[in-house]
Structure 1
Amino acid sequence: MSAGPGLDAARLVTEAPKDTGYGRSPYERDRARVLHSAAFRRLAAKTQVHTAGTDDFLRTRLTHSLEVAQIAREMGARLGCDPDVVDTAGLAHDLGHPPFGHNGEDALDALAAGCGGFEGNAQTLRVLTRLEAKVLGPDGRSAGLNLTRASLDAVAKYPWERRPGRRKFGVYADDRPVFAWLREGAPPGDRRCLEAQVMDWADDVAYSVHDVEDGIHGGYVSLRPLLVDADERRALCADVAAAYSGEAPEDLGEVLAELLAEPVLAPLAAYDGSHRALAALKTTTSVLTGRFVSTVVAATQERHGPGPHRRYAADLVVPRRIRAQCALLKGIALRYVMRRPGAGPRYAQQQEILADLVAALLDRAPDALDPVFAPLWRAAPDDAARLRVVVDQVASLTDPAALAWHGRLVTLR
């Protein structure tokens, strides 16, 4: 099922045709708009897992997004998706993430309770359709980057509003109109288009494989305890079952044993940062990424045929064992990097910084807001809407900017 070429390529605000001299497709234009946006540039100084700027080797949100886009583009092209749609989705998928990674996301969610909470994916939709400056509607209001319906739908990892028992969601209440528009032509319910599924899997692949690579290089992750300690393996599997997988810990244990026995992982137990060790680490990264992509493409084509497939014509098929391997790698980053000893006080300090910033801006708005956000504050009809503007401002900051704003508005006050 597809919404149809005209519906897929439509933009919320109609734009006059552009004579660029080489006939770009609407989706090539979408990709360029994301790539040249201020929100995309800011990802260079936003934390992925490790604090941005602490090590030149380690990934930021920007490098992570580039890698997700590359994996998604390759996988999507093999399935017959429009490569620029999945590429755009990969580039854009983290634009709404705030300073300090998922820790910052959790902090802002609590601080934004009075206006419906905070979620990085819902914020991404807000950035793309409202906050980023590119196109104005007939009423003078920002339409954000004014991407096509197909590209916006491909970014919708969680196409639903907040629900009890679900931490993840993709749209705030006051963004319902644009969300309803982008979902025109979609089947009833929460089904995601194939391009969104491809982007989501590419995100999981990049997140799982690359965060372990960064952890090993940074000295936070060692495979030795998992190779020699059965209790440690059980503890990891329990973490993964609680955070990332519906599999039982004992079933994950079987997959983990197979994964640790693979020859491609063997050199990593003695990683020393040398040229030879780095080459072995990159080989492992390439092998695992290739496996996670090629197996999923083959399984999808086996179920749905060779394609081409796009939009709602097929669903991505991720075999159970591949999904479990990916979840285990994510669990390694969770257990040995994000939950490493000494991380707690730093996370608490980051949350305190964001809480201080929200409080200070609520007290000093609109004068203390950026010129982009001050008019939105003045036009807000109530306290909840004004809180949302402040949260939008704080979420837009990079890690260093959040520290600088805190020093200017709070520490030096």
Structure 2
Amino acid sequence: MTAGPGPDDAARLVTEAPKDTGYGRSPYERDRARVLHSAAFRRLAAKTQVHTAGTDDFLRTRLTHSLEVAQIAREMGARLGCDPDVVDTAGLAHDLGHPPFGHNGEDALDALAADCGGFEGNAQTLRVLTRLEAKVLAPDGGSAGLNLTRASLDAVAKYPWERRPGRRKFGVYADDRPVFAWLREGAPPGDRRCLEAQVMDWADDVAYSVHDVEDGIHGGYVTLRPLLVDADERRALCADVAAEYSGEAPEDLGEVLAELLADPVLAPLAAYDGSHRALAALKTTTSVLTGRFVSTVVAATQERHGPGPHRRYAADLVVPRRIRAQCALLKGIALRYVMRRPGIGPRYAQQREILADLVAALLDRAPDVLDPVFAPLWRAAPDDAARLRVVVDQVASLTDPAALAWHGRLVAGR
């Protein structure tokens, strides 16, 4: 079964006049260019991935991570028959809504935004793409954001549902329901994601798991030695992974971890010394793991659904259980030895305090201290919850250095 893109997939919420630039670009190539040239995309260069942005010239930021996700997604999607520019656009755009200070900042803003529906990076990404980023105006004079095609917006929707009890992740705030309903037109009933969104999500997991461990090895935070010699440490890691990243039982994860640690491809990680030879071996490890995670999933999907081409809702991505567990374990290594390393707690607390201070200061002094993009939205807001959302939008847009600078100017300097 195949399904090619139709005119509804290429539709934009706000109809635009035809453009004759001589390039003959497809609507999806235009989508990719709009994301690539957006201010929100540029700001990712100074937003934390796992390590604090700007603390090391080797470590990844949200920008480099997004470029890597886009590259993995484009190649995987093309092998399955997806439009490569749709999955590329989704990879580039998937983290546009993430705030300063990585997942710690996301958790902090979620608590601070409780009175207006909370905060979630993926829901914020939809908001950036469809209203906050400046590109196209709606007929009423308001912003239509980048005005991407339906297919591209649907491909960015990792979590196509509103906030629900028992689910930490969601993809749309209540006041963004109209555009969300529009982009989901033609989707099957329920929460099913299009194939391009599934490809982007798996590419995100692959890049996150492999590259964050690579960064941790290089930075001296991660070594495999404790896992190789200490059964209690292996059990503790599996418990972390079961709680955060996997539905598998810790003992089942333990079997997969034993296989993973015995794999010769991981041997360079235990002997890393920062030399040129060690760097080359580390890069070989990341390449092999990435290739394995991608090629196995492509093969499994084609085995179930046929050779394709597949796109939109013609197929679902098939991720074999052991491959998913291996990926989750690598994510757990970054979680346990980097994000939860000893002594990191005070830094996280300081970051949360900075964001809380900023939200309070902006609520007290808005609209005068807001950026010119956000001040009119504050003035037009009908109630306190809507004004809080504008303030949260402002804070979420800041890079890590900008959040520190704003805090120094509005809070510490008072």
TM range (shorter): over 0.9
Cα pair 1:2 1:311 within 8 Å, conserved: no
Pick closer, same or farther for the CA change 1:265–1:2 going to 2, 3 Å.
closer
Pick closer, same or farther for the CA change 1:255–1:33 going to 2, 3 Å.
same
1:235 to partner: Cα distance: 0.5
Which digits, 9 at most, give the CA deviation of each residue in 1:80-100, with x for residues without a partner?
000000000000000000000
Cα distance in 2 between the residues matched to 1:375 and 1:325: 48
Cα distance in 2 between the residues matched to 1:182 and 1:284: 39
Cα distance in 1 between the residues matched to 2:232 and 2:142: 57
Cα distance in 2 between the residues matched to 1:236 and 1:278: 25
Which digits, 9 at most, give the CA deviation of each residue in 1:172-200, with x for residues without a partner?
00000000000000000000000000000
Cα pair 1:2 1:185 within 8 Å, conserved: no
Which digits, 9 at most, give the CA deviation of each residue in 1:210-253, with x for residues without a partner?
00000000000000000011110010001000110011111111
1:4 to partner: Cα distance: 6.8
Cα pair 2:256 2:322 within 8 Å, conserved: yes
1:168 to partner: Cα distance: 0.2
Cα distance in 2 between the residues matched to 1:267 and 1:137: 54
Cα pair 1:128 1:144 within 8 Å, conserved: yes
Q: Name structure 2 gaps, 5 residues minimum.
A: none
Cα pair 2:2 2:308 within 8 Å, conserved: no
Cα pair 1:3 1:184 within 8 Å, conserved: no
Cα distance in 2 between the residues matched to 1:235 and 1:180: 43
SS of residue paired to 2:260: helix
Q: Name structure 1 gaps, 5 residues minimum.
A: none
Root-mean-square deviation over aligned CA pairs? 0.9
1:3 to partner: Cα distance: 8.3
Cα distance in 2 between the residues matched to 1:385 and 1:371: 17
Cα distance in 2 between the residues matched to 1:367 and 1:81: 46
- Equivalent in the alignment of 1:213: 214
Cα distance in 1 between the residues matched to 2:255 and 2:13: 49
Cα distance in 2 between the residues matched to 1:51 and 1:267: 26
1:5 to partner: Cα distance: 3.6
Which digits, 9 at most, give the CA deviation of each residue in 1:4-54, with x for residues without a partner?
744x00000000010010210000000000000000000000000000000
Aligned length: 412
Cα pair 1:88 1:151 within 8 Å, conserved: yes
Which digits, 9 at most, give the CA deviation of each residue in 1:368-407, with x for residues without a partner?
0000000000000000000000000000000000000000
Cα pair 1:226 1:233 within 8 Å, conserved: yes
1:267 to partner: Cα distance: 2.0
Which digits, 9 at most, give the CA deviation of each residue in 1:64-88, with x for residues without a partner?
0000000000000000000000000
Cα pair 2:3 2:310 within 8 Å, conserved: no
1:266 to partner: Cα distance: 1.0
Cα pair 1:99 1:402 within 8 Å, conserved: yes
Cα pair 2:43 2:399 within 8 Å, conserved: yes
Which digits, 9 at most, give the CA deviation of each residue in 1:94-138, with x for residues without a partner?
000000000000000000000000000000000000000000011
Cα pair 1:380 1:386 within 8 Å, conserved: yes
Q: Which runs of 4 or more aligned residues in structure 1 lie more than 2 Å from their structure 2 counterparts after TM superposition?
A: 1-6
Cα distance in 1 between the residues matched to 2:3 and 2:350: 47
Cα pair 1:47 1:100 within 8 Å, conserved: yes
Cα pair 2:2 2:310 within 8 Å, conserved: no
Cα pair 2:161 2:191 within 8 Å, conserved: yes
1:2 to partner: Cα distance: 8.3
Cα distance in 1 between the residues matched to 2:397 and 2:5: 33
Q: Once structures 1 and 2 are overlaid, which stretch shifts more, 264-273 or 60-69?
A: 264-273
SS of residue paired to 2:310: coil
Cα distance in 1 between the residues matched to 2:215 and 2:15: 44
Cα pair 2:3 2:311 within 8 Å, conserved: no
SS of residue paired to 1:5: coil
Pick closer, same or farther for the CA change 1:180–1:59 going to 2, 3 Å.
same
- Equivalent in the alignment of 2:2: 2
Percent identity of equivalent pairs? 97
- Equivalent in the alignment of 1:392: 393
Cα distance in 2 between the residues matched to 1:368 and 1:208: 39
Cα pair 1:51 1:100 within 8 Å, conserved: yes
Pick closer, same or farther for the CA change 1:2–1:190 going to 2, 3 Å.
farther
Pick closer, same or farther for the CA change 1:310–1:82 going to 2, 3 Å.
same
